[in-house]
Structures are given as structure tokens and as C-alpha cells.
Chains A and B, each alone.
Chain A
């Protein structure tokens, strides 16, 4: 049976890079055909991000050049090269959510998130919840049929504090 991974989730708290933890993960996935991307998911799942220090080790294990490994990490939106902030809000910015007012909601949220480093607000293009737009992913949890008030309630439930809403 194939080598499969747990569902990725946003890690809470500090996640310093730890080469000792990374080594067996890299070795495990290097044995799988086309295993680099599963390896990167596993590393990020376990350690929160993929440190540049892992690139030479990955290159060696997968018999690739460092440039090739770097190329893969930087190509995919999911992989991060720095430790993640404590919280993450991904707002869907695709067409169905646009048709239900996601753009105004996003603009407001981005403005309110300014100056804080606890929570990253980013765009995502389609969570497959287009019939219940607008939608978002807050710390890995999907939420839909959002209104500004409902979004605030979800943020509060996740322990995310932003400046008060202006609109």
C-alpha cells in the first residue's frame, strides 16, 4: 500500500527547525517513487516549515541538485520557508466568493490585520464551497456562508484578535 500522510494542519506555537527530526522523514520518503513532494508535506507537517538548511539533505537523499530542490519548494504555494505564525486565515478570493462580496471582506480584514504578526491573512483560490460563498479556512478549519459578523465570530472562536471592524 502507498505511503500516505496525515491531513496537513496549521501548527500551534513555536516550531524551530530540527535537523534530527527531519533526517528520518527525508530518508523515509526518499525511498518512494516521486517522493519529494510527500517528503516536503511531511516535513512541513512535523516542523511547520521547510528550512533552507534541509535543501542540501533533500538534494542528497533524492539525488537532485540543490537548485532542483529549491525550485520545487518555491514553485508550490503551500510550502513555506519560514516558521508559520500562530494563526492563519485563508480567504477564498475566487469568482463565486467574489460574487458574494468576498473582496470587500478581504480588503477590510487585510487592513485590520496590519501591524500584527500573530496571524497571517492570505488568499486561496477555491475551497470547493462555491454554493455557500464566501468561504475561508481558519487555522485549517473550513467556514462558509460568511458575513462580516460571522467571520468575526469565527476569528474570535479561534482566538484571533484584530483591530475593530471599520465597515
Chain B
């Protein structure tokens, strides 16, 4: 048997030289006269180990990371190409990847296949449990599929946490000859990358979830809207559509059900606001990404005026598992009304950043310390921002909060899409508050005044506070402005920008002095 190596082709690995590593290893193996097969996979999410090189053995896949081309001579010297026993005596050895404590501690459901297989290998996908969900779904009627999703307790993973089953039921009940399934893959929130990892690592699961949604509500056409900042994800999706056709997951007769489903991949054009669902629909229709008034809800009048299911990547990706293993298998995970797993994305100033799929309820402290291993700089962690650029900044005193939609809301924060950005004690929260306003000003679609003008005024007021000009007066003004934006904006961009600003003021008042 030839030596089988696995190297991710995920953008995170490629950004630190995975392609160069794969090419150099291939060449080195030929030079050594060793037969070696290199399989490019998605990412395991253990991003501090990228590029993670895995070697297949009878015991399982042994990992080495982070590996660069410079490590190749020493790996060869340790016996990589001449059958030495793993783990090799090498400084990058991490043991069996499946047994890695930070991998084993996870509950990999939506990401079960991520990092294991070539994301475009249809047979590998099926061998690892792919298509079980759709096969269960084609035996049910739409009502039964919706009931499974409702009973699972799955809530929208895009950030708002709306119950997915209720959304689907609304679309199912709507009368129309053409309904649509739209996947929001405009993962613009900084600090989040779970959608990207899933799309690049297991795109067929996403497609499977969307087709199940189509069967559930009676829609025959879907769109995935992916941001242009994810060129690798876009390319993967284009190829995945072809593979899905070969698997009969897409086409005129999905899995022999007699029902058809076609999928189109659309590329965004660098507008953060298009992650807001109604802006995204406008953009799909070929217009400026200006948000729409709600009601009507997209479920009633969405894409091209038709009833539309619009969900996040991870919401769709959770569905095949729910259908395959039953609603109960999902709902028994998690806490309170936050069911199932959350893809925690740990980034910023952290020693071990990456994606960890965990049941809801785990605390920030566990994630930061046990998984993250403290800050990358070695300095104390002073603040974390959870839930993207519109999420609150939390201080150390709140690190015992469990990840739970309701618990976070009680502390004027949000779980959002599960991104956690870590800052050490060199952070200046007044600057971060200013950035929140600045970002809102750059990305506002301009439809409503509180967001369009309020954000620019917010930057100005914060500049005065930072400069120490009429500080008390300007703090009153800032608070007033935040209230106006929160209550008067049409969508979450203007409405939630006050969240990071106010949390910075509340928890880090000393930075505004």
C-alpha cells in the first residue's frame, strides 16, 4: 500500500502555505522513490496546527503540525517515507488527530466530515454517512420533514436564532407555484469563519440540507449567495454542484423522488449589508443591496416576490443529521432553548484559534482557557467580542457565562454566529467602540437615517470623547445616539451597532476617561 497523506486545501491552510507543502512533499517522495498519495481535504478546524499534515496508518491518522516546507527534510530523516512507526520523532508530532484532546472534546455533528475527506469526493461523502438525511426525507411528506426540524429545536445559525421549523412551516403553508430556497453564505461578520470551513470542507452537506428544505416546503430552485472575500469557497461550491448532480442530489429527479431541485451559486460583491436577508434578496435580484421593510417576511414574499426559505449555511448543514438520526438526537444536546451544537469560532489574540463544535452551554472561560490556551501574546485576556462586529465586548468578569442565546441576551450581548474575538490588555475599548461606528458608516446601505447618519455622528462624538473634549456632555450625547440607532434603525446593522459601543462603555469605562 502506498503512503497516504492528507493536507487541507481550506483557505486557512492555503494562506500559510499548504499548496506549497503538498507540491514539495510530492516531489520529495518521488525523489525518495516512495509511492505517496496526497489527498487534499477540508480543515479539521484546529487552525493553530495548520498546515496540519496527516499520515494514514492502521491505527488511524497521525497528525503533524504546523508543518511548512522547511520541515520536510527533518520529516524525511525521521522516516516519513520509509515506513517508520508513527508518531515519528519530530517536533510537530501531535499524535492521532481523532484522539487529540481538543478534537475529542467536541461534538462534531455538522462538521463530522470536515477535514476527513476530499470535499468534492462524492463517494467519500456517501461512505462517511452523506445522503442519509435526504434518503430519510424522500420517504416522508413535507409536513413530516418540517416536523422533524421543528422538534429538533434547531434555531437559525446566522445570528438571530429564529426557529428554523417555524420559518419552513410558513413557507410550506404559503400558496405559490414557485418557491425558493436561499442560503445566506455572506458570512461577513468579522471573527466568524464556520460557514467558510463547512463550504470548503463539506459542501455536499450544505447542498443536502437545502434540497431537504426544498422537499419540505415544495421549492424546486435554490441559490447560494457567497461573499467574494471567499474565492476558495466559491470555487468549491461550483464544483460541488456538479458532484451533487452526479449523486442525484440535484437534478430533475432527486434521489428518485420524482421531484426536482436546481441550485445556482451567486457571488456577492463586497457589501457587508448583503448578509442581512432582505438585502441579500435584493442583491440576488440584481439590485443595490438596500434592505427591505418587513413585513412582508421573506417566507411570504421573498426572492422575486415568491415565498422563500432563507437560512444560514450552518442551519442547512444541521438538517441532514436531524433527518438521518431523528429530531431527538439533536434536541437532547444543548441547554434551555438553545438546542444542538454551536460552531464556536475562536480567533484574534489567542494561542489556539480555530473552530470547535460544542453543545450550547459551555462557558466562555472554558473556551478561552481549555481550548484557546490563553492569549497569543502571552498577556492577560482583557476583552472578548462575541457574535461579530455587532456583538458586545465582554470583560473577564463575564467569562463564566454559558454560550446560550438567552443568557447572552440577558447581559446585553449576543451569541450571534458563534465568533469569539480575543483581545489582550493592550486593547483600547474606546478605539474599538469608535471602530464599531466607523464600520457601520462604511457598510450602511443608507436606507434609514439612524444608521446612515447616526454612525457618522457616532464616530465624531467618540473622537471628541477620545480627545477629552466636553467628555461628560458627549457621553450623554453618545448614549442618546445609541438609543436612537437601536430603536429607529430598520435592520440589525444600525440597530445593533450600539451593542459593542455600549458594552465597551459599560464594562470598560476607564478607557473613555
Q: Is the CB of A2 within 8 A of B262?
A: yes
Residues of B with C-beta under 8 A to A1? 241, 245, 262, 264
* Contact segment of A12-20, A81-89, A107-115, A128-136: A128-136
A142 B269 Cβ-Cβ under 8 A: no
Contact between B348 and A96, CB atoms less than 8 A apart:
yes
A155 at interface by CB-CB < 8 Å: no
- Specify the chain B residue showing the minimal Cβ separation from A71: B288
A75 pairs with B189, CB closer than 8 A:
no
Other-chain residue from A37, A40, A72, A96 in contact with B190 (beta carbon distance below 8 A): A96
Interface flag for B265 (CB, 8 Å): yes
Within 8 A of A (CB), among B1-29: 11-12, 14-16
A3, A78, A130, A133 — most chain B CB neighbours (10 Å): A130
The answer to whether B284 touches A34 (Cβ under 8 A) is yes
Asked if residues A133 and B263 are in contact (CB atoms below 8 Å), the reply is: no
Q: Is B389 an interface residue (CB 8 A)?
A: yes
Q: Assuming A76-B269, A78-B269, A140-B231, is B192 touching A130 (CB within 8 A)?
A: yes
Asked whether any CB of chain A lies closer than 8 Å to the CB of B272, the reply is yes
- With A3-B264, A131-B350, A131-B353 already in contact, the answer to whether A72 and B286 are too (CB < 8 A) is yes
B279 to chain A, nearest CB (A): 10
A35 at the interface (CB under 8 A from B): yes
Instruction: Please judge, given known A-B contacts A95-B421, A142-B15, whether A36 and B347 are in contact too, CB under 8 Å.
Output: no
Chain B interface size band reads: 35 or more
Q: How large is the interface on A (under 10, 10 to 19, 20 to 34, 35 or more residues)?
A: 35 or more
**A36 vs B232: C-alpha distance in the bound complex, in angstroms?**
23
- How many A-B pairs with Cβ below 8 Å? 174
A129 to B232, CA, bound (A): 12
Q: Which of the candidate stretches B91-99, B394-402, B422-430, B463-471 sits at the interface with the other chain?
A: B422-430
Instruction: Indicate with 1 or 0, residue by residue over A59-84, a CB within 8 angstroms of chain B CB atoms.
Output: 00010000010011001111100000
B254-294 with Cβ < 8 A to chain A: 262-272, 283-290
Main secondary structure of the interface of B (DSSP, over half): mixed
Looking at the assembled complex, report how far the CB atom of A98 sits from the nearest CB atom of chain B, in whole angstroms: 7
Q: Is A25 an interface residue (CB 8 A)?
A: no
Q: How far is the CB of A88 from chain B (nearest CB, A)?
A: 13
B414-449: CB near A (< 8 Å → 1, else 0) gives 000001011110010000100100010011000000
Q: Which residue of A lies closest to B263 (CB)?
A: A2
- Contact partners of B404 in chain A: CB under 8 A: none
Q: How far is the CA of A126 from the CA of B230 in the complex (A)?
A: 10
CB-nearest residue of chain A to B225 = A37
- Is B345 in the interface zone, CB < 8 Å from A? yes
- Asked whether B271 lies within 8 Å of A96 as measured between CB atoms, the reply is no
Report B88-136 residues with CB < 8 Å from chain A CB: none
Q: How far is the CA of A78 from the CA of B270 in the complex (A)?
A: 5
B288 contacts A75, C-beta separation under 8 Å: yes
User: Is B191 at the interface (CB under 8 A from chain A)?
Assistant: yes
Determine which residue in B14, B16, B232 has the highest number of CB atoms from chain A within 10 A of its CB, and name it: B16
- Of all chain B residues, the one with the shortest Cβ separation from A150 is B16
Q: Which of B205-230 contact A (CB under 8 A)?
A: 223, 228-230
Q: Return chain B residues, CB-CB under 8 Å to A41.
A: 228, 267, 269
Interface centre among B269, B355, B385, B442 (most CB of A within 10 A): B269
Question: Which A residues from 1 to 52 make CB contacts under 8 A with B?
Answer: 1-5, 7-9, 33-38, 40-41
B408 at the interface (CB under 8 A from A): no
**Interface residue? A100 (CB, 8 A):** yes
> Which residues in A have their C-beta under 8 angstroms from that of B203?
none
Q: Report if A127 contacts B (CB, 8 A).
A: yes
CB contact between A128 and one of B16, B196, B288, B353 (< 8 Å): that residue:
B196
| CB atoms of B286 and A130 under 8 A apart | no
Measured CA separation A149–B193 after assembly (Å): 26
Provide the residues of chain B in CB contact with A40, threshold 8 Å: 269
Closest 9 interchain pairs by CB?
Answer: A2-B264, A131-B353, A130-B347, A94-B190, A36-B286, A77-B270, A76-B269, A144-B15, A128-B193
Q: List 23 A-B contacts (CB under 8 A).
A: A4-B264, A4-B265, A8-B231, A33-B304, A34-B286, A35-B286, A36-B286, A37-B286, A76-B270, A94-B190, A99-B427, A100-B376, A126-B192, A127-B229, A128-B187, A129-B11, A129-B193, A130-B347, A130-B419, A131-B193, A131-B350, A132-B15, A143-B16
New A-B contacts (17) at CB < 8 Å, excluding given A77-B269, A128-B229, A129-B193: A33-B304, A34-B266, A76-B268, A76-B269, A78-B268, A95-B191, A95-B389, A96-B347, A97-B190, A99-B427, A129-B11, A130-B345, A130-B347, A131-B12, A132-B15, A132-B47, A140-B231
Chain A positions near chain B (C-beta within 8 angstroms): 1-5, 7-9, 33-38, 40-41, 62, 68, 71-72, 75-79, 94-100, 124-133, 135, 137, 140, 142-145
